[in-house]
Amino acid sequence: MTTATFKLIGATAFTAVMAVTSALAGPIEDRIAAGEPLRIGFANIPIWAYPGDDGQAEGFVNEIAVETLASMGYDNVETVVTDWAGLIPGLKAGRYDMVTGGLYILNSRCQNIDFSEPVGNFGDAFLVPTGNPKNITTYKDVLDQGVTMVTGAGYNTVESAKKEGLTDAQIMQVPGPTEVFAAVKAGRADAGILTYFEVKELADKSDGALEVTDPALLPDWTKNFAAIGFRPEDADFLAKYNAAQAAYMGTDEMMATVTPYGYTESHLPGDITAEWACANR
């Protein structure tokens, strides 16, 4: 972890600081010139991005972003934690300057924000009761059996489920992983779907009540590419950030930092670009 200076603003503090953040909002380079911290926004998503005990940005996506910024000479970083659904609206409103947290590059999101080049490729998986009594491994299984799945509001999995024919009535949308876990464990949903990393962690803490399906059974088009989100008006800074990130991706230094989170060389994005992902996801 880099020795960046962090200040944590919790979601509950947003109302109190709205006037301040609005006054400070502006292109990243203007903030740098004014000596203001760069504000990283993310939801509290285990493994991907979450606040540490002292407010530092932890999780492998945060680590990649913070280390990339450090390589550019920027270590005055402020973390802003919000709900997942507030990430893109908050970025557009100027509450923070960039968003992390495992945000996938999706065409619908590319209409609203710009993305860095990908920081990795990742698959989703289902969280099901142990033994998988409904034999749910794909969206088609959910559709054909007329059962209910649960996922996070605003997650890519909502779009994926609807692409496979599921109706709103079959998709329970909740704030995040904790609520997905509760819904499946209590039987309010027959299966939950999140990223494999999230589902694996939830199953591990279920005391054997829940298990993870094989992510390879989902269609290849459901594999996604995570990146860092920026406002379009920060395009000049994004170009510099991309150059620094490219120099960092896949290095021994990076892999030593992200491996403890479960990120492996198989997750490196390869030659996939943000432009391709915007057009194809």
Per-residue pLDDT at 216: 87
Asked if the model's pLDDT at residue 39 lies above 90, the reply is yes
Report the predicted TM-score, pTM, of the whole model to 2 decimal places.
0.77
Residues 269 and 271: their CA atoms lie apart, in Å, by: 6
Q: 43: domain range?
A: 8-121+225-275
Is 280 inside any structural domain? no
Residues 70 and 208 in one domain: no
Asked if the model's pLDDT at residue 11 lies above 80, the reply is no
Asked if the model's pLDDT at residue 14 lies above 50, the reply is no
Is 2 inside any structural domain? no
Residues 55 and 137 in one domain: no
Residues 167 and 79 in one domain: no
Residue 169 sits in a domain of what CATH number? 3.40.190.10
pLDDT tens, position by position, 92-149? 999 999 999 889 999 999 999 999 999 999 999 999 999 999 999 999 999 999 999 9
Is 161 inside any structural domain? yes
pLDDT tens, position by position, 45-75? 889 999 998 888 999 999 999 999 999 999 9
Residues 126 and 191: their CA atoms lie apart, in Å, by: 6
Query: How many independent structural domains does the chain possess?
Result: 2
Is 49 inside any structural domain? yes
